[in-house]
Every structure is written in structure tokens, then in C-alpha cells.
């Protein structure tokens, strides 16, 4: 399959061309953010760097401090859905154009993403060493006081991927249940009714 190369900062045109199922790789700067950083941004904290057109990676890396600086050991994606409630607000405040994570976002969040011109890229969960191999350098760490997993890690990556476009700006969402019958059947007969 063809691999589409992206280099942030991205503009709306770069993003609009992408469709669910496309494979993407990223070279350039990406920034990690998860629960605590999201909470800080959505409560109005000033961003320590410009994220407009940027790529945010849902990840809490495992890293080791060495005499030459930080070395990333394992850095796969975390579950993006934990950030669902803050997602729309985070994108509005930061202007990011692409999220990288795993497990997808909720249906309503996917609609918000399309409206805000932001795509969702899936990296294989658990593939931490593979992801670490794409990191050329830890450029900086902001908000280190949040703890190593929750800080903003500014990473320079080369050929980070392959990432699957899983939510696009045209309403495509790979996580939408492919067997809606099975899904609704299960939910109609919810087995955990109160006795």
C-alpha cells in the first residue's frame, strides 16, 4: 500500500485529501499530550509552544535519562478515548491538525474532528519499541512537573508510521461498527439489568 508522507506543520489542504484507510508516515516534530496536559490546556493554561498545524501524539513514553539527554525506550500510543470529553476544546485551543493514538475516538468526537479540520491517525497499540525507533531526538520537555508519562514531550521523528487514517475530515470513521446488527442486538438485550 502507498505511504503518504506528512511533515508538520500541516495545513487544512494536506488533511482534507486524506481518507480513512490511507497509510501515512510523519517526519518532523510531534508533541505528546494525554490526560493531565489536556486538562491543563482546556482549563485555559497558556501553551508553552505553538501547536497550530501540529501533530499531537497520545502517548506517555518510557524514557531513560542518559548523559546525552533523554533516550526513548518504548513509546507506543495510549487509549485516545480517555480524552474524548476534552478533545474538541483541546483542538480549538491548540489548532492541531492531526492526532495520533490508538483505539479511536467516540462517534461524536469524530464528527467534531471533521468539523475542526483535524484527522485521527491510528498507530498499532503496544508497538512501543517500533515507535521509539522513529524518534530521532527528544527536543524538549514541557510541563515536566506533571510526571514523565503526562508531560509534553517534543519529539523529532523520522518516518513515524505506518499510521492508518482512521477518522478523516469527510465523515469517515474506521471504528464505526461494521456489524451494526450484532452491536444493536447485544445492546437491546443488555444482560446486566437490575434484579
Q: Which residues bind other proteins (CB under 8 A)?
A: 1, 21, 23, 59-62, 64, 73-76, 78-79, 81, 102-104, 122, 124-133, 147-149, 162, 164, 166, 174-175, 177-179, 182-183, 186-187, 189-193, 195
Please give the distance of CA 75 from its chain centroid, rounded to a whole number: 12
Least CB distance from residue 111 to other proteins, whole Å? 17
- The three three-digit cell numbers of residue 138, written as one number: 527528544
The neighbour count for residue 25, using CB atoms within 10 Å, is 18
Q: How far is the CB of 140 from other proteins (least distance, A)?
A: 19
Comparison of 47 and 131: residue with beta carbon closer to other proteins:
131
Q: Say whether 38 sits in a helix, a strand or coil.
A: helix
Interatomic CA distance for residues 70 and 186, integer angstroms: 47
Q: Which is nearer to other proteins, 45 or 129 (CB)?
A: 129
Cα 75 to Cα 169: distance, rounded to the nearest angstrom = 27
Minimum CB distance to other proteins smaller for 106 or for 117: 106
Query: What are the phi and psi torsion angles at 12 (to 5°)?
Result: -60, -35
Residues 6+ apart with CB under 8 A from 156: 28, 29, 135, 136, 137, 138, 139
**Could you tell me the smallest distance in angstroms from the CB atom of residue 43 to other proteins?**
16
Query: What's the closest the beta carbon of residue 28 comes to other proteins, in angstroms?
Result: 21
11 vs 144, beta carbon nearer other proteins: 144
User: Minimum Å distance from CB 74 to other proteins?
Assistant: 4
Closer to other proteins by CB, 39 or 116: give it: 39
Q: How far is the C-alpha of 63 from the C-alpha of 164, rounded, in Å?
A: 25
To other proteins, the closest distance from the beta carbon of 118 in angstroms equals: 19
DSSP 150: T
Angstrom distance (rounded) from CA 128 to CA 108: 29
- Nearest to other proteins of 81, 116 (CB atom): 81
Amino acid at each position: 500500500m502507498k505511504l503518504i508522507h506528512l511533515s508538520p506543520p500541516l495545513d487544512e489542504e494536506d488533511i482534507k485529501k486524506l481518507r480513512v484507510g490511507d497509510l501515512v508516515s510523519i517526519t518532523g516534530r510531534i508533541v505528546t499530550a494525554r490526560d493531565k496536559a489536556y486538562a491543563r490546556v482546556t482549563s485555559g493554561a497558556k501553551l508553552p509552544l505553538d501547536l497550530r498545524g501540529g501533530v499531537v501524539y497520545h502517548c506517555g513514553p518510557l524514557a531513560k535519562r542518559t548523559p546525552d539527554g533523554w533516550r526513548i525506550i518504548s513509546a507506543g500510543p495510549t487509549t485516545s478515548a480517555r480524552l474524548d470529553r476534552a478533545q474538541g476544546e483541546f483542538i480549538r485551543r491548540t489548532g492541531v491538525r492531526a492526532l495520533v493514538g490508538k483505539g479511536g475516538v467516540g462517534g461524536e468526537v469524530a464528527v467534531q474532528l471533521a468539523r475542526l479540520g483535524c484527522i485521527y491517525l491510528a498507530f498499532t497499540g503496544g508497538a512501543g519499541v517500533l515507535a521509539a525507533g522513529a524518534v530521532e531526538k527528544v527536543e524538549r520537555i514541557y510541563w515536566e512537573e506533571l510526571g514523565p508519562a503526562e508531560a509534553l514531550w517534543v519529539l523529532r521523528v523520522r518516518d513515524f508510521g505506518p499510521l492508518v487514517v482512521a477518522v478523516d475530515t469527510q465523515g469517515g470513521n474506521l471504528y464505526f461498527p461494521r456489524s451494526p446488527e450484532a452491536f444493536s442486538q447485544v445492546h437491546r438485550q443488555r444482560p446486566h439489568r437490575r434484579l
